Every structure is written in C-alpha cells, then in structure tokens.
Structure 1
C-alpha cells in the first residue's frame, strides 16, 4: 500500500524554502495539485498534511488513540504549558478532564459573566481618546489588552496585582512569539546559543513565580471570590478523592489563561477586520445588539438573543483560525484515504484548509456569518469547522471563548462605530497563532 504523495523539493532544503516564503498559499496550491493528503519533506523531517474534514474526524475522533502528542511541537509547548489539559494524555488526561469539566458548565459560566463585562468595559474606556481624536487605531493590539483583562478577572479575580498583571502580560507576549522558534530549535543541545532562549527562560520563570504566588494566596483565602482558579482549587477527583497538586494547578491555570487570552484576541481582531471590510455587516451587528439589549449591560441570559454575534465569532474562527494547524504523531500504523501511515509519522491537521475546503464551503474565501445559521449548517460535515478540535479532546473552554467573544462584540457595538482605515488592509502573519501582520487599523467614532 502506498504512502501519501510526496511533494518534490530542493536537494538540500526540501520544500522548506517554499513553505517559509509562501506559507498557507503554498499549501493551498499543493492541495489543489496533489489532493487532500500529501507529504512535505522539511529536511528536518517529513510531515503528512491532512486537509479534509474527514481527516479531522479520523484523527480527532475515530482513531484518536492512534495519534499522540509527541515530537518537537509538543516538547516546545510543554516548556510553557507543562502537563496541562492540552498537553496531557492517557489516564492522567482523563482524570484532569473529569475534574475540570464541571467548571465549564453553563451555571458556572453564568457566574463569570459580570466579571467579563466589567473587564471589557474597563478597557473600552481607554478607547475613548482614540475615538475623540479620530486617529487610526490598532484594534488588534487593543484586543490583546481586553482579553488579557478578561482572563485576569475570571481566572484570578483580585488575586493578581496590577504590577503582576503587567509582568505576566509582557512575559506571555514574548513566550508566545518565541514558541514557533522553539519548535525548530527544541532538539538542539542546551549549550547551543539560540537567540532569545535565555529571555524565554526568564519569561517562564516570571510566569511561574507569579502564578504559584497567586495559587498560594488563593489557598489561604478560602472565603474569597468565585474565579476559575477557586474552582480548580475546590475540585476533587471522585474516584481517588485527590485534589490537584500545586504544579497541576499551575499547568491548568496557565493553559486556560493562554487559550482564553491569545486565541480570543486574534479572533476578535480578524472579526473586526472582516466587519469593517463590509460595513453593512457591522451595522447588522449593531442592530442585533440594539434589539436584544438596547443600552443596558448584557448578561448571560442575553447570549441566546445575540445569535448573530456568535455567528460572527464562528465565521472569524472559520476564515482565520488562530490555531491554524494541529500536530499529531502516529503511534501505530494506520490507513487514511487508502494511504498507509507508518507508525512514528508526524501529522498536521490543516485547520485553515479544512475551514476553506471548496467541497464543504460555498465561496470559502468570503466572510459570511450567515453560514452558521441552523438552515445553512444543515448537512455540512460535522468536522468542517474544528477551531477547538473535536472528539474527547475538544477544547474544554469552547463555550467560555464564544461567550467572551459575544460579550466583547456586544459592548463594542453599543459604544462605537468602527470603520476601516483606507489603505490599511490587514495581512496574515504566521506566528504561533494566525495573527494580523502590522495590526488591524480602524477608525473609532463614539456612538
């Protein structure tokens, strides 16, 4: 049985130069030429790219036990996330998932809504000066501050001092930027000089010191406010009667914090880019918010009435998925689409290309939130949209993230008109996440 088609490359460099210079466009061309499954020779190793929803179902759901989280990608990520829920496997992962699942039930999320809105409003106050001046405003950078503030409030509450927040924010920004380089240099000996590695390690120490300190204070403050951290502290494994260790708490807190901060910020930036390229869509967003909540502060009960806000977030996640590919390694031999997958083979589920697959999405390059209405979703492959993964390993914070996105969009629509800045169209930047190169520049007007 044949292995997936192998893309020819240069003698010493393989396909790496084309991939680095042309990035996702190059992968799109290869998909058109070779089909939905093919192998890239990166010279440091080969990787099989999977570009169809059925591949996501196969790897994430049907044969999930055959694909593990090992290799340089996960080795690099574990330096930050430890053995948190996104990284762990087997019985330990099952234990952690079982313990954490109740924290993300709707009743618990409802209790965090007010904290979210307060954090969002605090940041939007700072946008007033840009609106008054009528100057170009990088809303991508501003969303970083919004989602950071939301995660600080919901994860740590008052347990994190402003000075600590600033230190952790700066450390996280650097760590996220460095991780992609870490993938490529993970296998090098520690004595080999890698630009930025010493600063990366210092940033990790800053994150550890701060998070461990907050955990210790939260342990002592047993009657404190309800936060995600307090929920983690209270969790008990029903089977063993054990609570999480200090290190386990740290890993889960950092994993949730990073997921809620970086990916939601990127999603909001791309949503605003898309809405300002089609102004009638932003007007429609404002109209829904006016109908659903008027000028009052939205609460958890209002989220079902803000369905189009949710559609906007979902369409942004489709067209610009922050996690644009997901790594796996075959732990045993398998077969996909009639091709043999040897044990040990590195795999890449190409979320970006699954989300734009022409066989599943009409006019896939167009931003169209109505794709996610019940009528138009009917009949679509269940795994044509996988920004949070799928199966048992689907991101536990999916509903938290979508709720956060709805509330940000609603409060923004209530407060400001947003227009594109002529000549400043955002471009894709492949980093650890799918960011906007040079930001997303808009003009704000106070309503």
Structure 2
C-alpha cells in the first residue's frame, strides 16, 4: 500500500535548531501531555538533532507491538546504548535468535518454577528487613526507595545466583548496576559521538560493565561444575533448545543473566518505592493492605498459594506501576512505510509508545491522576483495552519476568505490612527523576514503626 499521500503527524513547535528539546528537558511529562491535549494522541516531537513520533493511546500499542510488530524493530541510539551492557540478551535481541532464546528461557518462569523460588525470595526479603529495625526503633527518617533497591538486589541475587555471591560482593554488584542503569541514557545521547571523545562517566561505565562480566562469568563457570538447580542461572545453564538440541554459550548465558537480573531488580524496586509514596499519602489504602494481609496470613510466613487471595496487594502494585511506570517509553523503528490513525509513518522513523502518556490518558482512564487501586478489580477492568496497562510491554515481546516481578512485589508488601506501620514525613514530597527509568529524586522518605505483634520469621 502506498502511504506517501498521507500527512505526517503534527509536529510540536519549538526553538529553531534545538526545537522542543529545552522545553522537554524542563517540563518532561507535563510538556508531552500538553502536546497530546493540543495535537491529539499521535504527534511528532522534534528534538533538533532527530525526531520521533509519539504514540499515546492503547490502539497504537496494539498496532505497533501486536498487530504489525514485524514492521517495527528495536533500532536506534537507545537500543544500541542498551546493547553495550545487555549484549544480545532477550530484551534487545531480534528475529530467529530472539525466538530461540525465548524458547529456552520460558520454562524457567513456569508456574512450578515460581513456586520453588518463593521460599528463597521470602528468605532474602526477611534478611533485608532486618536492617529496617533501627529506623523503626528510633523513628529516624528512612529512605524506603534506597532500601527497596538493596532488598530487590538481595532477592534477585538469591533467585538468580543462589548462594553464588557473598554479602560484600552483592553490595558492589548493586552499586555497579545502579551506575550502569543511570548511565544508559547518557550513552544513548552520546552514542553517535566518536569513541575518542572524552565523555564524562564513560570510563567508569565501562569499568562497571567489566566488573559485572567478571562476576557473572565466574558464577557461570562455578554453576557448570555444580549440580545445584535451585536458582534461575542453573536453569539457564541446563536449558536446551528443543529444535536444535543446543545449549547456551557462556556469552549468551552472560547476556541473559544480566538482562533478567536488571529487569527483576530495577523495575520492582522503583515500583515499590512509588507504591509507598502513594500509600503514605493515602493511608487508608495502606490500612486496607494491612487488613488483607492479617486476614490472609495472620503472623505466618507467606507462600506461593497466598498470592492469589492477596488481591489488594496486587492491585496496589498495578496502580502504582500505572501512575509511575519505571519503563516509561517503548521505542521502535519502522522497517517500512506504515499508517497509524490516518498519518504516514515513514520507513526508518522512530515511534515511541509512550507508556506514561497511555497510563494517564483521560480517554482511557477515569480520573487518571487519582491513586485508585480498585480500578484493577475484575468488575472495573471489564471492557478496558488490553493495551491500556503496559508497564511490562505488550505482544510477543511482553516481559518474560512479569509474573516473577509482581510475585516479588506482593511478597514484599505482605512482609512489610505484617511488621510495620509506614507513614509520610510532612514536607518531604518525592519528586520524579527521569533517567533510564522513573525514579524518585532524592528518595522516598518515611517513618517506620514496628507493629505490636511481629510477623514470624522463617528459620533455617
């Protein structure tokens, strides 16, 4: 079909040479939402050095990521920047190689495997919660965002590597990963610059990647010599492609292990931080969570079977991920000319399914700025577009660890609700920091207070 006669999506106006970039850097989401209100659900964002077509309705996600996914690929500076760390792991690989890797990795996330990992996850959560006791006793301000980064790191170390990392080493891995994730956006913006040009932070980034490589490859070698099969890495080590009979090479294992590790660590930590930011501003939601946890669990340690009845906990997570989706945009590049909403999409053009805008679109969500976990009840979800909520992507590229992440989040919410009252600190409002993900700038600060009856702690 010839789309050349169609108009391009309307363009956001701006300053000559740099176009909309200054306003975008200053106002970010407010600027993009104002453009959507003025121009409609699809428009072109001119950044001066390049431009991108912004998509902000679920029907666009259906078109690009589901119905016509073969016309769009993961190309451009953002994906090239991510490949400098993730290699050819599942989030960035394409074509037949991606299909092969997905086939091999999928069994690691089957229902029975997640059941087996639950106990390990709860053990790691409880270990991390031990460090919260001092703040609960003294009433000192507590940065729950930083605490969640350490906790989800601990959970992922246990789930991914078993006992493969020592405490001090896990901390260093966490610091390296945090720097790498922050630098990826810088890497995207500077990708086209010559390698010899000194870029602030590039050397430290390369050192951090090298350190992660050394740690992961060492654990892989240890895993090959061991019969241990109680962690995700061991499952990947023994995974066999059903079509070719091949196993993964060390390089492929490294890329997949790092990709899964980053996804399970960063997304869950950020989502939980925003969940507590929201619940401390709406204490009735936290009280309801606590009541649900008391009714379902009492004081006992949660297991996999308890996740289904913890419906409010899951709804809180989903609503937090709607309001503050860590992966706030999903970029693709058109491989051929296409049409969306009657507009021409030229071949080679970057299109961005902007998760944040879709999650805040008033034509899709009633009172989209309101924190309302009940909007995810079955009754109120009926009739909603399947692609209205996409924090884990959509289509065949839906994040393979989605259920693992939500399970981890539910277990963490349950253990905290069993042990603590969590309240806001007046005057300390969390602010959005937009980098590779949506983090809370300078943390999410709360007061902790121990509940009168402590929850049971799993013992060896």
Asked whether the two chains share a fold, i.e. TM above 0.5, the reply is yes
Equivalent residue, structure 2, for 1:65: 70
Q: Any conservation in 1 of the 2:334–2:350 contact (CA below 8 Å)?
A: yes
Q: How does 1:302-381 map to 2 (within 5 A)?
A: 302-381=306-385
SS of aligned partner of 1:177: helix
Equivalent residue, structure 1, for 2:458: none
Equivalent residue, structure 1, for 2:284: 280
Residue 20 (structure 2) pairs with residue 15 (structure 1): yes
1:253 to 237, 257, 262: 257
Residue 71 (structure 2) pairs with residue 91 (structure 1): no
State the distance in 2 between where 1:384 and 1:88 align. Answer: 25
Equivalent residue, structure 1, for 2:236: 232
2:127 to 89, 109, 122: 122
Aligned positions, number: 446
Cα shift at 1:163: 3.0
Cα shift at 1:170: 1.3
State the distance in 2 between where 1:98 and 1:261 align. Answer: 23
After superposition, give the CA deviation of every residue in 1:394-437 in whole Å (9 maximum; x if it has no partner).
Answer: 00000000000000000000000000000111111101100011
Q: How does 1:174-189 map to 2 (within 5 A)?
A: 174-189=179-194
Equivalent residue, structure 1, for 2:454: none
Equivalent residue, structure 2, for 1:4: 9
Q: Any conservation in 2 of the 1:167–1:206 contact (CA below 8 Å)?
A: no
After superposition, give the CA deviation of every residue in 1:6-51 in whole Å (9 maximum; x if it has no partner).
Answer: 1111111111000001101100000000000000111111100000
After superposition, give the CA deviation of every residue in 1:332-358 in whole Å (9 maximum; x if it has no partner).
Answer: 100000000000001111000101110
Cα shift at 1:317: 0.6
SS of aligned partner of 1:305: coil
After superposition, give the CA deviation of every residue in 1:223-247 in whole Å (9 maximum; x if it has no partner).
Answer: 2241000110110001000001101
1:439 to 436, 440, 443: 443
SS of aligned partner of 1:322: coil
Q: Any conservation in 1 of the 2:229–2:235 contact (CA below 8 Å)?
A: no
Cα shift at 1:166: 2.1
TM-score, reference length from structure 2:
0.96
Q: How does 1:25-424 map to 2 (within 5 A)?
A: 25-221=30-226, 223-424=227-428
Cα shift at 1:161: 2.2
Cα shift at 1:175: 0.5
In the alignment, structure 2 segments of 5+ residues that lack a partner are 1-5, 452-460
SS of aligned partner of 2:448: strand
After superposition, give the CA deviation of every residue in 1:290-338 in whole Å (9 maximum; x if it has no partner).
Answer: 0001000000011011111011110011010000011110011000000
Cα shift at 1:186: 0.6
State the distance in 2 between where 1:225 and 1:160 align. Answer: 16
Q: Any conservation in 1 of the 2:81–2:187 contact (CA below 8 Å)?
A: yes
Cα shift at 1:168: 1.2
State the distance in 1 between where 2:21 and 2:117 align. Answer: 45
State the distance in 2 between where 1:357 and 1:379 align. Answer: 16
Q: What value does the CA root-mean-square deviation take over the aligned residues?
A: 0.7
SS of aligned partner of 2:163: helix
State the distance in 2 between where 1:281 and 1:167 align. Answer: 35
Q: Any conservation in 2 of the 1:14–1:41 contact (CA below 8 Å)?
A: yes
State the distance in 2 between where 1:259 and 1:446 align. Answer: 31
In the alignment, structure 1 segments of 5+ residues that lack a partner are none
After superposition, give the CA deviation of every residue in 1:38-73 in whole Å (9 maximum; x if it has no partner).
Answer: 001111111000000101111110110111001100
SS of aligned partner of 2:89: coil
